[in-house]
Structure 1
């Protein structure tokens, strides 16, 4: 309750209606002393989102950024200036940003293929770290990051924040806390959306830099699969293609090779089966999850209609056996949170990060969970290339990790 009241007061403090109130006259609207200072490594669209939610949440601040692209740095300055008059520190090197003694934690938002090398510098600081998803583009790098995290004395959280989207928060509660569905048997997730956006260097158009679409984008959904299944994946079968997007796109002499559609089936040790449906040339952004158990069925969805510029209300329904209650709901966060991006999931990911830094238990994704989301994604990409079912044990052995099978 205390945290809810504090948040409501911070929202009032940010309102232009109350901008006239001097700092010395703020009581309910005073966020109090800062708890932590963050540096953001990589100030592209994701880095800017992390800056915005940090400043909105109010207990922490973004001290500085490191990014070799001047336009990204200027964009980061503008984001912070919306919330604070304190200037943003801009570092000339990765080492300087990581090792600044004034900073308590680092948020790494660099291109996927750089994560391991950036992390190796970041851990020398001994600071808390939030590493964006996917934690790596391949299985050996992901495993190395997992091993670094096991021996790291501070928080090392992976940015698989979709588990904090409103529809998935409620789905997790219904399926795993209330157990409204009984024993989960099947999971289906669908994402239909517009193509990948532009990036500095266009790295997300090439599998060797992004890990491929089923790693870069879909690790979120494979994390949810693993979370609901509560088991290890045994096999993955996937089909997909580059049917529409970037077929004629070239950058620095290379042609784009990323998938823009796929169907993925994952089988788990405990018998749970999951399937994923991806289309990245749809004129909308729409997600849906359907979970079937032996005592009920859950369906949840969210979306924005790009043609009509309208938002579809979040929706969740639970249809249970006759001796249990069924219900429908529209899960949501306050609009000011949802509008920060990813339906407010990044904001709540930050709450978990702060709680973990405070020594409290956290439900945020660990490096181990991040590893297994990458494994499923790599298996799916491998299945598409080879044209057949991929056994996880064999894939791990191919990557020198047969002991994990």
Structure 2
């Protein structure tokens, strides 16, 4: 098989095992020159995932990093050395990292509550920006970011990458492009998984830093709900609790207050209704999507558990009754891509960011879409606290947001 017939970047290994080959001697494993250079702000768990994926995709090279935590930078250096023989620059200030003239883009991967402050510095550079989800922890901050984005002349992409997971990518194609279910009427999404993982200073265990579980974790699913509904949410009702996880957890004298389970119902302007089911103390990872229209139903699931029994990892069913052919499938990406992060979603997120920097149009999450995912999450958190149905228009008005 000639190299021209394969994805050169996918098969371009540049880790230590291949350091015995000089770059000029490579052919099959030759590395295409990166189109762009980007700086990474924040070297925590998700920051390192972006560093690994960006390097392996090869469209954007990691030029340098900035993080206030010295250990995070040290670990990032070690991880970087495992995938490339290149080096990166360590900056001593956020301003220096954002304004380096050798850099085309900036990846903001800092804790949720810092996003707005980091963006205020990054946006002055005029460079292309990728910012992790959720774009903000408060509605006021999210709205401020949307106003900043309207005036911004470069790319500003939000890291809602679940739309690139194989099951959701295929479901989006069936529902929104192929119109396999006709007019969408109902949406259901479920996530059952293990608890939140450790973060630096355990910020994800506290709502004031994360925005709350329904903002921090579930904005991904609310983005998908909004996307499938093709409409704006008008009211949200939720109930949930901290029933099992971190009930006795304290860090620096503060007790954890995040939800570990919830049910959320969303009504949209166009009449679509959606439901979300969250459990974060299940001994597995199980995501499931159901979209029902007036002509059919799409079901997609992704499952990872810890048993020895072989089972399907993904499955998708398109059932159209008498309207058109039905089918079942197992959506997936190549193993190397799936293993790179979030079952391949981060890989295609980076391709989209590079495409946008190159001036191409993509289906990556916009700032406006990021805003509405935060709106649903904040409304759901408020509903859990008050026990009331939250009218979205009233919630936005109470925060001084006039759309």
Note closer, same or farther for the CA distance 1:360–1:23 as it changes in structure 2 (3 Å cut): same
Q: Is the 8 A contact 2:289 2:300 kept in 1?
A: yes
Unaligned runs of at least 5 residues, structure 2? none
Unaligned runs of at least 5 residues, structure 1? none
Partner of 2:258: 258
Partner of 1:157: 157
Q: Is the 8 A contact 1:130 1:157 kept in 2?
A: yes
Partner of 1:181: 181
Q: Write the mapping of 1:93-108 to structure 2, written as runs, cut at 5 A.
A: 93-108=93-108
Q: CA RMSD in A?
A: 1.8
C-alpha displacement of 1:50: 0.3
Note closer, same or farther for the CA distance 1:273–1:10 as it changes in structure 2 (3 Å cut): closer
C-alpha displacement of 1:29: 3.1
C-alpha distance in 2 between matches for 1:311 and 1:197: 25
C-alpha distance in 2 between matches for 1:235 and 1:3: 53
SS of residue paired to 2:11: helix
Q: Is the 8 A contact 1:238 1:263 kept in 2?
A: yes
SS of residue paired to 1:11: coil
C-alpha displacement of 1:88: 1.8
Partner of 1:142: 142
C-alpha distance in 2 between matches for 1:362 and 1:90: 31
SS of residue paired to 2:226: helix
Partner of 1:229: 229
Moved more, 230-239 or 30-39: 30-39
C-alpha distance in 1 between matches for 2:4 and 2:364: 20
Q: Is the 8 A contact 1:297 1:319 kept in 2?
A: yes
Partner of 1:206: 206
C-alpha distance in 1 between matches for 2:9 and 2:110: 33
Partner of 2:281: 281
C-alpha displacement of 1:100: 1.1
User: Residue by residue, what CA displacement relative to the aligned partner does 1:18-49 show, whole Å, maximum 9, x if unpaired?
Assistant: 66543212234323222111111000000000
C-alpha displacement of 1:84: 1.9
Note closer, same or farther for the CA distance 1:352–1:4 as it changes in structure 2 (3 Å cut): farther
C-alpha distance in 1 between matches for 2:10 and 2:398: 51
- Report whether the alignment pairs 1:351 with 2:342: no
Provide the TM-score with structure 2 as the length reference: 0.96
Note closer, same or farther for the CA distance 1:139–1:364 as it changes in structure 2 (3 Å cut): same
C-alpha displacement of 1:246: 0.5
C-alpha distance in 1 between matches for 2:127 and 2:322: 52
- Report whether the alignment pairs 1:132 with 2:103: no
Note closer, same or farther for the CA distance 1:53–1:3 as it changes in structure 2 (3 Å cut): farther
Moved more, 67-76 or 374-383: 67-76
Stretches of 4+ moved more than 6 A in 1?
A: 15-18
- Report whether the alignment pairs 1:58 with 2:48: no
Note closer, same or farther for the CA distance 1:131–1:3 as it changes in structure 2 (3 Å cut): farther
Q: Is the 8 A contact 1:31 1:59 kept in 2?
A: no
Q: Write the mapping of 1:74-89 to structure 2, written as runs, cut at 5 A.
A: 74-89=74-89
Q: Is the 8 A contact 1:6 1:31 kept in 2?
A: no
SS of residue paired to 1:188: strand
C-alpha displacement of 1:99: 1.1
Aligned residues: 402
Provide the TM-score with structure 1 as the length reference: 0.96
Note closer, same or farther for the CA distance 1:218–1:4 as it changes in structure 2 (3 Å cut): farther
